[in-house]
């Protein structure tokens, strides 16, 4: 088991759920609601799991993979992205399910999430694959999977200050 594979699996699930919502369409609000609730819980839980178990290790061993300038910069940007995803998901919930405003807000959430996943897959995940041992990646995967499993209904979405996050999680 490898944390980078678990993250990729979650990313695939997120992409799938956004696509399912688009295919359900506006006329079936009874189907939209539970699929959106599942997606939102996954987005929130996934971000929190990454912040607890993935990004602290990016800060410890990362060097700035691909177009990431440094592990600190990758991490700050990822935390900022997580905040944007949380905020755009909260905006979705302000609108009537299936309305044009709801779908517009959902599109912004999808855009923020898609942008983040692409950057994370090129940067932080590449850093961890290149810099962390297979044993460490396995250990991180175990804690990541346990956390997500324990929070199937989601976590409280709380924005974080990216600089303060890095400061608190940087190795001594």
Give this prediction's pTM: 0.91
pLDDT digits (tens, 9 = 90+) for 30-42: 999 999 999 999 9
pLDDT attached to residue 172: 74
* Closest alpha carbon to 79 in 95, 55, 114, 115: 55
pLDDT at 154: 79
Domain boundaries, the chain: 3-169
The rounded distance, in Å, linking the Cα atoms of 67 and 52 is 24
**In the numeric block, which tokens belong to residue 151?**
């929070």
pLDDT, residue 103, reads 97
- The model's pLDDT over 72-119, given as tens digits with 9 standing for 90+, comes to 889 999 999 999 999 999 999 999 999 999 999 999 999 999 999 999
Q: How much is the pLDDT for 140?
A: 97
Largest interatomic CA distance in the chain: 54
């Amino acid at each position: 088991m490898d944390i980078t594979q678990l993250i990729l699996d979650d990313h695939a699930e997120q992409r799938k759920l956004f696509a399912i919502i688009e295919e359900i369409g506006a006329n079936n609000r009874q189907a939209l609601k539970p699929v959106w609730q599942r997606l939102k819980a996954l987005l929130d839980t996934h971000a929190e799991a990454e912040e607890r178990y993935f990004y602290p290790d990016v800060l410890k061993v990362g060097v700035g993979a691909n177009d990431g300038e440094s592990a600190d910069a990758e991490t700050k940007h990822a935390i900022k992205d997580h905040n944007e995803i949380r905020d755009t998901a909260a905006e979705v919930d302000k609108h009537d399910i299936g309305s044009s405003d709801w779908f517009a807000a959902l599109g912004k959430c999808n855009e923020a999430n898609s942008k983040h996943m692409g950057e994370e897959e090129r940067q932080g995940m590449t850093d961890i694959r290149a810099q962390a041992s297979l044993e460490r990646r396995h250990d991180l995967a175990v804690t990541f999977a346990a956390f997500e499993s324990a929070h199937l209904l989601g976590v409280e979405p709380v924005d974080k200050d990216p600089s303060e996050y890095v400061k608190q999680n940087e190795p001594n």
